[in-house]
Structure 1
Amino acid sequence: MDASVVIVGAGPAGLMLAGELRLAGTDVVVLDRLPQRTGESRGIGLTPRTVEVFDQRGLLPRFGDIEMSSLGHFGGIPLDFGILGEDDRAAKTVPQSVTESVLEGWARDMGADIRRGQEFTGLRDLGDRVVVEVLGPAGRKELVARYVVGCDGGRSSVRKSAGFDFPGTSATTELFLADVRGIDIEPRMVADRVTDGMVMTSRLADGIHRIIVAERGAPPRRRTGPPAYAEVADLWKRLTGIDISQGEPLWVSAFGDATRQVTEYRRGRVLLAGDSAHIHLPAGGQGMNTSVQDAVNLGWKLAAVLRGTADSALLDSYHSERHEVGRRLLANTRAQSLLILGSDEVEPLRDILGTLMQYEDVARHFAAKAAGLDIRYDVGRGSNPLLGRRMPQLELLRASGITSSTELLRSGRGVLLDLEDTPQLRQRAAAWRDRVDIVTAVPQGVAPGSALDGAGAVLLRPDGHVAWIAPGSHHDLPSALERWFGQGQRHAVA
């Protein structure tokens, strides 16, 4: 074997997955056809859920000072993430180029082998291994790996080579995106419908403006390269009356509103994550954030299978959990596409939704959807609403001092929180100590009546989701440990 895992694509999904695998001790090679990062930032901003994910891996300090905001939108209708909780805020002005730089630095620090200028050209799944064909500066060669993960974007070569089905709808509208220096226009942070289309702009660092503009009903063109900036400036002037032709474009791109999702996230020893598995209108920056979260869900599971502590059935849960998240993402971005790009016929619907947003339950529902905080996995039956959801940050008092559930997840291992100092509980979990940290601590600041009020123990998966809680789960702790972490060590029980 040349590597346990070969990842194709060094974007956010591929780099996050590489870091997660290395955190679990798995050797990994990342291939990317480009000789270096482009510096372009198709995605911008981090949703509250992705901020949590990066925090649980200790990555937020690598971003430096970031501007946090509770403001968002759903199809151009303003949202306030603050309704979900004072800590649920988005990082609004983090370009994808910065995210990629941070994740590549982390992955390299963890020991990932990242090879640029290496173009994937094909693969052969031989049942017990995968042969990956690569074209690089030195010519063609083959790499042999136990698994291959396609993180190579919406036009994924891995997806096509492995024969994944990719049903959906083709693009009906073309949108332009440009980062421009030397213009002075007011920010339109929420997609703004104008007479014949949609415009949106925000201020980035160093005097740069991010512009997104679309003309209603303008079909996608067959292009061999990016559009000229003059085309973007002309459309902006026609829709807004403002001349930005004097600006200096740093880069320009065109994209559409195609919506597609693979029918399966895994075929044998080939898996897909990120835009390789799902494409959609990039409304609210949800695409890049969902891609990062795909990687976090997959990493620890793939590592456990490679270690031999779990069988390949654990990888089936990657499909069942993330395919449903992707399906719901496509549904909400299609709805937003209609609200943003639809004709005047959608105005009554926008008015009704705007009115409904004034009700707290409705506002909370849409805010959680846009923030990525509405995800709940099927981890087994139970009465506690935290089951399957990501653990909210909980401050904990240990004999060694104050810590938190977030800090305990930094190692990428499972965590069993013994909140009532119960020796019998720790004894039942002892057989899994090689992959689960058993922590005895006293919870601090638990709100009366909350899901954690009265909890005696909580089992966290490496991705931070609650797999078992007592009281509240309808199955016992060993069953939960075996489901998510494989068979325990017999000698540990003895």
Structure 2
Amino acid sequence: MEDTEDIVIAGAGPNGLMLACELALAGVRPLVLERLPEPTTENRANGLVGQVVRVLDRRGLHERLAGPIAPPVPGFVFGAMRLDLTLVERNSLNVLGVPQRRIEAMLGERAAELGVEVRHGHELTGLAQDADAVTLDVTGPDGPYRLGARYVVGADGGRSVTRKLAGIGFPGVTEDRAVSHSANATVPAEFTDPGSGGLRVPGRGVIPPFFHYRTETGLFAYAPFPTGTLVTAMEWTDDEEPADEPPVTLDDVRASIRRVLDFDLPLGAPEGEGPHLLRRLRGRNTRLADKFRDGRVLLVGDAAHVHSAIGGPGLNLGLQDAVNLGWKLAATLGGRAPAGLLDTYESERRPVAERVVMHTQAQSALISPGGDVTALRELFGELLRLPGTVQHIADLMSGADVRYEPGTDHPLDGRWAPDLVLDGGTRLAELTATARPLLLDFTGSLGDELRGWSDRVDHVTGHADVDATALLVRPDGYVAWATSAAEPDDTDRKALRAALERWFGHSLDA
């Protein structure tokens, strides 16, 4: 065996790199294996949607991509129907329009700063584990070699080799009827609407930008990104996939748009250096791994779950998998994790994945062809004029509805910590860049309770406009305990100590 690592991560995409950064912040230096010889230039996503935007902000990573975090968007889309977010009381649907390749490059730079080694051109080919370690067979540029690890994490996508080698099942369904054509292209100025930024289509008016437009034959989207306009047409077909399908061309994209919109959109070749997207995708997979952990092998992101890309939930789900797992795995390696901590990765993240599968399947049903679907959309459109319905769906889409198992009955316990600002102007995001747990103590009286965990949990005092007088915030940004008492009593203090022990291990005084 060549050497032994604490943690090996298979896959240097955004999820694998995010996990590597989280582990490094916690004092663990993982080894990342990536089968591709160099970072891909393919742009698999065009931005981030939901809570993950705030996650990046709380690690100081949003600033690297786009400067200060922007307010939540005033509108979004669900199943090719508009969500008017001006109707809701709490809008938590943030959007960051940055190409995935830039996100991946930024995370790679951050991982390098934190001392993470990424081996490009090294492919995982074999895996065996026992109670103490995992043995990996790897093929690199200089040939095959063997590697040991205490834990292995598969962040290697929907066709995960890690998952397959570990023998973890991946049940689900494949929908073969959908065929989509996408391309970066130029659109003549006379077809663009200066006011809205949308696309003028004769007989259909203006199709809003970044909006899924449904017809009885398919779905169309027009997205004028700063890096280049993207057009996508998805059709429904009963034809079988040809055995030898020629590479997609811009003419194929034009023809697909004609079939969906009944209109010839004179697309031109894309401008700029690129890389430019031009692709055809057939079918949609919805699958969920039988388990997210098998002994010393764990799965994150698409290796654990795949679903329709509608609504853009993929990186929101996968990157938060990584942030949830990182601190728990580091604590386990450090010997300070309470019993069962690593098991909470699956118990917390599987229900979130199941809800993403649910809402992407629901959206796929709403964009399907047929008069019955059109009638369903009419009814759904009426429901989307009700603020309560919009609030529910907006929270579902963003992930703001996630609540992990609370330890108390406080309404913030188990939920994402509010974006509070302390007196003096310090944002919570500035206090969480190191990924350490925090006790936000606005009573100034809880320091003694923290004494036995002072090596693991930071104590922050002050004041903030929030519906609590003290919050215990986990490294992933979720509240582990909260109180609204001006002077916490013995019951509050006992609950705080129980939460500290539940998530961060025994007190040093024990």
Same fold by TM (over 0.5)? yes
* Aligned twin of 1:214: 234
- Structure 1 Cα separation of the partners of residues 128 and 398 of structure 2: 38
1:396 aligned onto 2:396: no
SS in 2 for 1:114: strand
- Structure 1 Cα separation of the partners of residues 453 and 330 of structure 2: 16
Write out per-residue CA displacement over residues 154-208 of structure 1, whole angstroms, 9 at most, x where no aligned residue: 11111111011211111233332533233346264221112311111201224x2
Letter in 1 for 2:254: A
8 A contact 1:227–1:254 mirrored in 2: no
Letter in 1 for 2:481: W
8 A contact 1:174–1:219 mirrored in 2: no
Question: Structure 1: any 5+ residue segments left out of the alignment?
Answer: 447-451
8 A contact 2:406–2:414 mirrored in 1: yes
* Aligned twin of 2:474: 461
- Structure 1 Cα separation of the partners of residues 369 and 299 of structure 2: 31
Write out per-residue CA displacement over residues 99-139 of structure 1, whole angstroms, 9 at most, x where no aligned residue: 11111111111111111111111211122111121111101
**Which one of the candidate residues 234, 242, 247 is aligned to 2:264?**
242
**Which one of the candidate residues 119, 122, 126 is aligned to 1:122?**
126
1:436 aligned onto 2:457: yes
* Aligned twin of 2:273: none
* Aligned twin of 2:432: 409
* Aligned twin of 2:98: 94
- Structure 1 Cα separation of the partners of residues 60 and 347 of structure 2: 28
* Aligned twin of 2:147: 143
- Structure 1 Cα separation of the partners of residues 239 and 287 of structure 2: 18
1:480 aligned onto 2:499: yes
Letter in 1 for 2:431: L
1:167 aligned onto 2:190: no
Question: Structure 2: any 5+ residue segments left out of the alignment?
Answer: 192-198, 200-207, 271-275, 486-490
- Structure 1 Cα separation of the partners of residues 459 and 393 of structure 2: 36
**Which one of the candidate residues 155, 172, 182 is aligned to 1:178?**
182
CA positional deviation for 1:312? 5.8
CA positional deviation for 1:315? 0.9
* Aligned twin of 2:41: 39
Letter in 2 for 1:433: S
Deviates more, 1:176-185 or 1:463-472: 176-185
SS in 2 for 1:395: coil
SS in 2 for 1:435: coil
CA RMSD of aligned residues (A): 2.3
8 A contact 1:226–1:253 mirrored in 2: no
* Aligned twin of 1:449: none
- Tell me: CA distance 1:404–1:110, structure 2 relative to 1, closer, same or farther (3 Å): same
8 A contact 1:197–1:239 mirrored in 2: yes
- Structure 2 Cα separation of the partners of residues 35 and 9 of structure 1: 12
8 A contact 1:149–1:270 mirrored in 2: yes
- Tell me: CA distance 1:222–1:264, structure 2 relative to 1, closer, same or farther (3 Å): farther
Letter in 2 for 1:463: D
1:158 aligned onto 2:162: yes
8 A contact 2:52–2:315 mirrored in 1: no
How many residue pairs match? The answer is 476
- Tell me: CA distance 1:461–1:83, structure 2 relative to 1, closer, same or farther (3 Å): farther
Letter in 1 for 2:46: I
CA positional deviation for 1:270? 0.3
Letter in 2 for 1:456: T
**Which one of the candidate residues 303, 306, 309 is aligned to 1:276?**
303
- Structure 2 Cα separation of the partners of residues 285 and 43 of structure 1: 8
8 A contact 1:220–1:256 mirrored in 2: no
CA positional deviation for 1:221? 2.5
**Which one of the candidate residues 272, 278, 288 is aligned to 2:315?**
288
